[in-house]
Chains A and B, each alone.
Chain A
Amino acid sequence: MNVLEKKFSGYFHDHYRQLCLHALHFMGNADEAEDVVQETFVNLWDKREQMETIKSVKSYLYTAVRNNCLTRIRDAEPTSSLEMIPPDALLPEEDQIKRAEMEARIWKMIDELPERRRKIFLMAKRDGMSYKEIAAETGLSVKTVENHIFRAMQSLRSKDINAYFFFFA
């Protein structure tokens, strides 16, 4: 990998998941969000000779993702206006970056939940199933389901992700 490729790779690895979460607020769909982020990096690669002149590549990436999302939304629904965009997708840039970074950490932490706990947590929070329905589906008691969800929320709120980096540093 040459120097330019290394830099480009660094930007990608540092910001990819965060940018996907950022795009998700606009697109509302994980596949489309990922497509937009991919497209944004392809554009950045096309401008790689000018990469040095971009003052803050991170800021550039967030802005570019946002603009690419809005362009896609307009192209898909030419008659739609920005009023269709969820209001929380239009926060100040700094807040959007902070939120995307936090949500990327949450996404990773959900990845890392123990198998069964993740499944039960998603049944409740993603699929909207009641504790009773989850209990019937999994063969667990309602109390156990409740406990799994409580503990999942507790982990997501408090798990010290720095421990991983501390340990393997």
Chain B
Amino acid sequence: MEKNRNEMDKSIRFVAQHYQEGAFNTTQGWKRLTSSLPGFGKRGHLSLLTRVAAAALLLLIIGVGVLKMVNQPEQLYAETDNTPFTLPDQTTIVMKQGAKLQYYKHFNKTERRISMYGDIAFAVTRDEIKPFIVSTPTALIEVLGTEFTVIANDDETRLSVASGKVLFTPNDPVAPLPCTAGMKVHYIAETATINVTAPGRKMEINGKTRSLTFDNMELKEVVSVLSHFYKIAIELPENEAELPFSSSFTQESIIEIINIINLTLDTHITIKEAPL
């Protein structure tokens, strides 16, 4: 165990020492390679046209209320409320006054990553190959294509999902939370508290006090939280996944929690031996 940890720390040091943003990027590497392999595929012109079109549209939209910084990364700042903008992948955003957003020149080449601060509504163009990743000072939000709003500052992140699926991952505890339409998440970094609300149901995860509260949440959601919170693999029979569950736990062991759920709902949830 200790040896593995040392090996991992050694690897982390090695990677950090050589890390360069945008390097070792598979999609870029693939483009570079195929351009040097004669006769390989015939999709170069199309992607070039798409990029030219996106760049032209981007230039058209720039202006009203959005200050575009000259230096990389591209930085947007909303001087007034409801400032619209279209990103190179055709994702549209509406920024509240004072909101900031930045993205790198590699945006849309391999993935779609932005970082933000303030209040921004997103309508993300669907692209299954290139996930759209929003980074705030306290959380990471990953989507494929959906509509949602994020409000972020140094201490907290709020997410409101209008449609589609969003994966919300707070920095601490690192518990990825799948969120669907109508769900709202409020994460406070200082207290490591995550509040998730949806019509008729809610839950609260407190990383500091190690307490969990579920109110009418579906079992698959509960199990997903428990699995990441306790870093353990849990098996939930498919036919029990949508059963509603309500309860609160503070510092109980995962075995106790699973026992309580199984006893109260007559379910068959089991803990797998291997950790996640």
Q: What residues make up the interface of A, taking CB atoms closer than 8 Å to B? A: 1, 5, 9, 12-13, 16-17, 20-21, 24-25, 28-31, 33-34, 37-38, 41-42, 45, 99, 102-104, 106-107, 110-112, 114-117, 121-122, 125-126, 151, 153-160, 162-164, 167-168
* Other-chain residue from B12, B23, B32, B135 in contact with A153 (beta carbon distance below 8 A): B12
A117 in contact with B40 (CB, 8 Å): no
> B36 in the interface, Cβ–Cβ < 8 Å?
yes
A90 and B206 CA atoms in complex are apart in Å by 46
List, in ascending order, chain A residues with CB within 8 A of B115's CB: 114-115
Query: Contacts A37-B29, A160-B176, A163-B228 hold; do A122 and B14 have CB atoms under 8 A apart?
Result: no
> B210 in the interface, Cβ–Cβ < 8 Å?
no
Closest to B40 in A: A5
Provide a sorted-by-A list of 16 A–B residue pairs whose CB atoms are within 8 angstroms: A1-B41, A28-B18, A29-B18, A38-B29, A110-B19, A111-B21, A114-B138, A114-B140, A115-B102, A126-B19, A154-B172, A154-B174, A155-B171, A157-B12, A160-B276, A168-B144
Query: Contacts A24-B18, A167-B178 hold; do A9 and B24 have CB atoms under 8 A apart?
Result: no
Main SS at interface, chain B: mixed
List, in ascending order, chain B residues with CB within 8 A of A37's CB: 29
* Other-chain residue from A1, A33, A126, A155 in contact with B174 (beta carbon distance below 8 A): A155
List, in ascending order, chain B residues with CB within 8 A of A125's CB: 12-13, 16-17
Query: Contacts A114-B137, A151-B172 hold; do A16 and B16 have CB atoms under 8 A apart?
Result: no
List, in ascending order, chain B residues with CB within 8 A of A28's CB: 18
Which residues of chain B from 9 to 44 have a CB within 8 Å of any chain A CB?
A: 9, 11-21, 23-26, 29-30, 32-33, 36-37, 40-41
